[in-house]
Amino acid sequence: MVNTLVIHKKDKSLAGDFRLPYSKSESNRALIIKALKDQNITIHNLSEADDTLHLNKCLRLINTCGVSGLPMIVDVRNTGTSMRFLTAYLAVLKGKWLLTGCQRMQERPILFLVNALKQMGADISYTNKSGFPPILISGKELQGGTLSMDASVSSQFITALLLIAPTLPRGLRLQLKGDFVSKPYVMMTIFMLRDFGIDVEYENDEIVVPSQEFKEDHFEINPDWSAASYAYELLALSEAGSLFIPKLKRKSLQGDNILPDIFSDLGVESHFTPDGLKISKTIKVVDFLEYDFVNCPDLAQTVLATCVGLGIEGRFKGLQNLKIKETNRIEKMDLEFSPFGFGLKEIGNEWLLKKTSAKVDFTKINHIFKTYGDHRIAMSLAPLVLKTGRLQIENPDVVVKSFPKFWKELENLGFELKKN
């Protein structure tokens, strides 16, 4: 039986604190660095997201494994970051490994990363469909050298290579080709490597990491800017109010700190204080929104759902990689926007968010929203209850992937939640 959550909010104004989880992007990188350093590193504020907890579990399992003739099975389930990062990590770790995941993970391509590692001499083969997990890895020392990588495919492929680069005897000279997607996530990796004492040069689409030792012995994880997008959406769809987000700083390794700029056009004003960020409802809302999400794809669903709630059409770029996430996010969001009289249409390299029917009375929508196993779909749809009055959503527990206390934060703001 499918679990559903019914959400109510009588008062459409908002006030209070919205507490964020700590960044799983920073946490997952820090965990791989800790494993590579093979020394004690203290990570402060490690994310409680399911993705991070499971990556940590996989690393502990790997660490306890002795070398034997049979490969150890490492199941990342539906954690894309773990699949990419562990592919590179296990390629340089002595042992035999069968790296696998859930059915959806076995549909997500990994060809470019595997090919790059093979160019350095990695021993990796596919056990089912070529170019996709599961993969069989016989870890060994890789020398490094010069590689070319298509930067338009996945920033996580680039990050996976950069994380192991300092351990390679010849280091790594990575030449990036094509349009760079999610560049801030690669910059996060570079800045974190530098925090751990690694010399990294980045110039003219080339990243150079010499062979060297990690030096830093502690790292502090920051609150998750991606999760802050749901606070922005809630306020944008409210009738009035303000929210305070503790500990969130403007200066961040995370590219999603562009949120204040995006939502300034959607009725939300941002004011940073020494203790965090205060966001307030305003009347400034554009009639039509255009934005390129190439550097912040994790914000796309939140912004699109906000536009639907506000009745705003738009034109967007940089959504292509959403098709290969936990689900085909573009296809599924299009389906869930339909009851609101909105749809997404792809034209070339752009996506149009357009009204598909006459004015819809949101308060009369009687639809059980699906989440498709995707945490960001669940969290971006939930704030629409401020326009519908009542909203029912399937499989609400998917939020544990990145924001385990999401529903608790809504309750703290006066939302009424009831599981069926």
298 noted as active-site residue: yes
Residue 65: is its pLDDT beyond 80? no
In DSSP terms, 344 is beta-bridged to 353
Quick check: 71 and 97 in contact, CB under 8 A?
yes
What mean pLDDT do residues 179-205 have? 94
Residue reference for tokens 């495919």: 153
Select which of 298, 334, 374, 397 is catalytic.
298
How does pLDDT run across 128-167, given as a tens digit for each residue? Answer: 999 999 999 999 999 999 999 999 888 999 999 999 999 9
Question: Which part of the chain is CATH 3.65.10.10?
Answer: 4-21+223-419, 24-220
Pairing of strands 42-44, 218-220: parallel
Q: What is the mean pLDDT of residues 97-118?
A: 94
DSSP 136-196: EEEE-----EEEEEETTT-HHHHHHHHHHGGGSTT-EEEEEES--SSHHHHHHHHHHHHHT
Q: What does the pLDDT average to over 204-227? A: 93
- Per-residue pLDDT of 286-318, as tens digits, reads 999 999 999 998 999 999 999 999 999 999 998
Tell the residue number behind the tokens 């800790």, with chain if given.
34
**pLDDT on residue 66:** 58
Quick one: pLDDT at residue 27?
A: 97
CATH number of 4-21+223-419: 3.65.10.10
Least confident range from 53-57, 206-210, 365-369, 392-396: namely 365-369
What is the pLDDT confidence band of residue 1, given thresholds at 50, 70 and 90?
A: low
Q: What is the mean pLDDT of the chain?
A: 93
What was the pLDDT predicted at 245?
98
Query: Residue 4 has what pLDDT?
Result: 94
CATH topology of domain 24-220: UDP-n-acetylglucosamine1-carboxyvinyl-transferase; Chain (3.65.10)
Q: What does the pLDDT average to over 65-71? A: 70
